[in-house]
């Protein structure tokens, strides 16, 4: 997998390079400031970009802006965003375009190598990977939306879908059968009025509905 890394912290940046290289991936470019990000992505057209939200020069949302600009110029570019804190607006803005291939993780998740690499692969494959803390924060803020029609168990299933879990993983986490998970997901699709389509795509649409609900 070809990867572009955008991270201003030199220690973390080099750590990511070493981690990804050791896992068999090719880091084709690194960027240390916001203005470097889009040119690097347009030049190398990677399989996935790993971007910090806040980068020089202003340390505000340069990485996020670069991610949105890059997605506009390279439709479908998978992007895994790293952040120091849970920032709800960033997660919803990234997913607001209605497509998958987006991940949002807190930086301390990088230290959990297996989880980080698993998220990287899911996002590169067009799925979603949201940090459990981000999902938990979003869950507490949802009011008066189609999500309210879901049962408590269906919300748990959708929350785990948002984190990027497949049916087998959801079943294991909730101590239920995969058949039960499939039934809950079918109910979620029905209640969110998602059109019949590829199951994987509908999973992404369900997550988007969950994140973008008022």
3-state percent helix, strand, coil for the chain, nearest multiple of 5: 55, 15, 30
Strand 2-6 relative to strand 48-52, pairing? parallel
DSSP string, 125-168: TT-EEE-HHHHHHHHTT--SSGGGGS-HHHHHHHHHHHHT--HH
Q: Please tell me whether the overall predicted TM-score, pTM, comes out greater than 0.85 for this model.
A: no
Instruction: Report d(CA 3, CA 192) in Å as an integer.
Output: 35
Strand 102-106 relative to strand 79-83, pairing? parallel
| 107 and 52 in a common domain | yes
**Residue in this structure with the two tokens 């079943």, named with its chain if needed:** 171
| 147 and 124 in a common domain | no
Range of the structural domain that residue 147 is part of = 142-212
Domain boundary among 84, 107, 132: 132
Give the DSSP letter of residue 32: S
Instruction: Report d(CA 54, CA 75) in Å as an integer.
Output: 22
Please check whether residue 10 lies inside any domain of the structure. yes
| 152 and 62 in a common domain | no
pLDDT in tens, the chain (214 residues): 999 999 999 989 999 999 999 999 999 999 999 899 999 999 999 999 999 988 888 888 888 888 888 888 888 899 998 888 766 666 666 666 556 788 888 888 778 888 899 889 989 988 878 777 766 665 555 555 677 788 989 888 988 887 778 899 899 999 999 999 999 988 888 887 776 655 555 676 676 666 655 5
| 149 and 64 in a common domain | no
Coil, helix or strand at residue 104? strand
| 158 and 116 in a common domain | no
What is the tally of structural domains in the chain? 2
Please check whether residue 179 lies inside any domain of the structure. yes
């Amino acid at each position: 997998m070809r990867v572009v890394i955008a991270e201003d912290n030199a220690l973390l940046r080099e750590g990511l390079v070493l981690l990804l290289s050791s896992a068999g991936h090719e880091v084709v470019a690194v960027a240390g400031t916001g203005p470097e990000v889009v040119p690097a992505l347009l030049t190398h057209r990677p399989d996935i970009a790993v971007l910090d939200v806040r980068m020089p020069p202003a340390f505000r949302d340069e990485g996020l802006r670069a991610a949105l600009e890059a997605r506009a110029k390279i439709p479908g570019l998978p992007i895994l965003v790293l952040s120091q804190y849970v920032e709800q607006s960033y997660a919803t803005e990234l997913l607001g375009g209605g497509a998958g291939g987006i991940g949002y993780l807190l930086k301390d998740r990088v230290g959990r190598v297996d989880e980080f690499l698993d998220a990287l692969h899911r996002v590169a494959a067009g799925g979603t990977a949201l940090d459990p803390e981000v999902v938990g924060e979003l869950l507490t803020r949802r009011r008066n939306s189609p999500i309210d029609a879901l049962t408590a168990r269906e919300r748990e299933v959708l929350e785990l879908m948002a984190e990027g879990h497949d049916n087998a993983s959801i079943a294991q986490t909730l101590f239920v059968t995969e058949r039960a998970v499939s039934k809950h997901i079918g109910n979620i699709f029905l209640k969110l009025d998602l059109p019949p389509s590829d199951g994987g795509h509908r999973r992404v649409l369900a997550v988007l509905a969950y994140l973008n609900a008022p």
